[in-house]
Amino acid sequence: MKELKSTAIPPERAIAVAVSPKGGDRAMALDHLDELEFLAETCGAEVIAKIYQERDKPDGSTAVGKGKVQEIKEMVEEDNVTLIIFDDDLTPVQVRNLEKELEVKVIDRSGLILDIFASRAQTSEAKTQVELAQLQYMLPRLTRMWSHLSKQFGGIGTKGPGETQIETDRRMVRDRIDALKERLLHIDTQRQQQRKGRQGLIKFALVGYTNAGKSTLMNAMTDSGVYVKDQLFATLDTTVRSIELPNGKKGVISDTVGFIRKLPTHLIASFRSTLAEASDADVLMHVVDVSHKAFREQIAVVDETLAALNIEGKPTILVLNKTDAITEEERNQLEIEYPGSVLISAVHNINLDKLLIKMQQLSEKGVSLIHLELPYSQMQLLPKLYDLGEITSRLEHDNGLTVEITATDATKERILNLCKQYVVE
């Protein structure tokens, strides 16, 4: 009888490489390497060595320089390494030179993150967004891919497919990019419709570094069953659930994709529609894993990413999570360092009541009452006002209606634009 062989693909054996400027923060650079290892593991690769190199600046042709390339080559041969991952973006030229020398696959952090996103994407929206980002990442690298193919097959056509073929391919990729953008625009319109239905409700959005515990918190607060896992980018889509505040007011809370250091710009751009929920929110809840040694840097990365997406400046609650995994002394220290934050543990349900009260306080700050004297001749404005805010009182009299609208900061301006002249102070 024939022996059955396992069809499982053996995990890639990888080396992670970081090149840092001389005299930089070594501890931080090593931390980045650890994160790169976590990213690689998320992709199913096993990191067998991490290389950290200090240089004045990365070498133009191989990033690490000739000597280091030789060193890596020896490791590749000795340890059956199949993949080299660089923490910083490589130029197409650097990838080509490195692959030629080392004779294994070479990728950078952006490529790795795109790979993870591609394997995680479930919904048509996420898939479209990832494919768009992948193609945009690939476009400048097309020449390199072709030269690889021609090398691989040797013989006829070893000089590559020639400019014409590359141009044709570039055009095909560009056409596909246009088609995907079109599709995203359509998805965006649908989302806007959905969001319209939620106007008048207070909107909270969970944001934060990947693996901070956003989905765990969402589940703890709403029973929503969002996928939780100790891996990077467990969540790629947005889930929205209703939530009730201690004062009985209803709101919605959204959980979405997490951020990471050096998130490829194409990816940020193409995930705009997923992140629209956050940009539309009244209150942001910035979830932080305080048990992570680099959490302060992670806070900064999230703030920067929010700024890049123009989602900054909203009322924000700093939610310091995983406090069960730190000491009491550290917890006391955090309370002093981050006044106004809420220390919680999403898995152990610690202080979620405190968080709800904070959410209520912040949402009240963002809510204002607008009083209007609306003449009967302007009744066509009423349906629009119902759409934008919550009409909390309505009194008919001889000349028209006296209306009180409860509006959030986000909608107040739009209401005022619509009927400024009818506002009574």
**DSSP letter (8 states) at residue 157:** T
196 vs 388: CA distance, rounded Å: 8
333 vs 322: CA distance, rounded Å: 15
Nearer to Mg ion, 98 or 234 (CB): 234
Cα torsion 174, 180, 185, 187 to 10°: value is -170
Which uninterrupted H or E stretch holds 346? none
232 binds, among ligand GTP, Mg ion, none (CB under 5 to 8 A by kind): ligand GTP
List residues binding ligand GTP (CB under 6 A).
208, 210-216, 228-230, 232-235, 258, 321-322, 324-325, 345-347
Instruction: Give the 3-state secondary structure of residue 347.
Output: coil
96 binds, among ligand GTP, Mg ion, none (CB under 5 to 8 A by kind): none
53 binds, among ligand GTP, Mg ion, none (CB under 5 to 8 A by kind): none
Q: How far is the CB of 108 from ligand GTP (least distance, A)?
A: 21
- Contact (Cβ atoms closer than 8 angstroms) between residue 273 and residue 184: yes
Nearer to ligand GTP, 137 or 209 (CB): 209
Q: How far is the CB of 124 from ligand GTP (least distance, A)?
A: 19
List residues binding Mg ion (CB under 5 A).
215, 234-235
CB atoms < 10 A from the CB of 290, how many? 24
Residue 18, C-beta contacts closer than 8 angstroms, at least 6 positions apart = 29, 32, 33, 36, 50, 51, 52, 53, 86, 87, 88
Q: How far is the CB of 326 from Mg ion (least distance, A)?
A: 21
230 binds, among ligand GTP, Mg ion, none (CB under 5 to 8 A by kind): ligand GTP
- Contact (Cβ atoms closer than 8 angstroms) between residue 345 and residue 323: yes
- Contact (Cβ atoms closer than 8 angstroms) between residue 62 and residue 101: yes
Nearer to Mg ion, 223 or 425 (CB): 223
Q: How far is the CB of 215 from Mg ion (least distance, A)?
A: 3
342 vs 328: CA distance, rounded Å: 15
346 binds, among ligand GTP, Mg ion, none (CB under 5 to 8 A by kind): ligand GTP
233 binds, among ligand GTP, Mg ion, none (CB under 5 to 8 A by kind): ligand GTP
- Contact (Cβ atoms closer than 8 angstroms) between residue 251 and residue 203: yes
305 binds, among Mg ion, ligand GTP, none (CB under 5 to 8 A by kind): none
Chain residue at closest Cβ approach to ligand GTP: 258
Q: How far is the CB of 234 from Mg ion (least distance, A)?
A: 5
Buried b (16+ CB within 10 A) or exposed e, 230-256: ebbbbbbbbbbbebebeeebebbbbbb
Q: How far is the CB of 183 from ligand GTP (least distance, A)?
A: 24
Q: How far is the CB of 164 from Mg ion (least distance, A)?
A: 46
Instruction: Copy the structure tokens of residue 363.
Output: 């949402």
Nearest CA to 112 out of 6, 31, 35 is that of 35
Q: How far is the CB of 321 from Mg ion (least distance, A)?
A: 12
370 vs 250: CA distance, rounded Å: 20
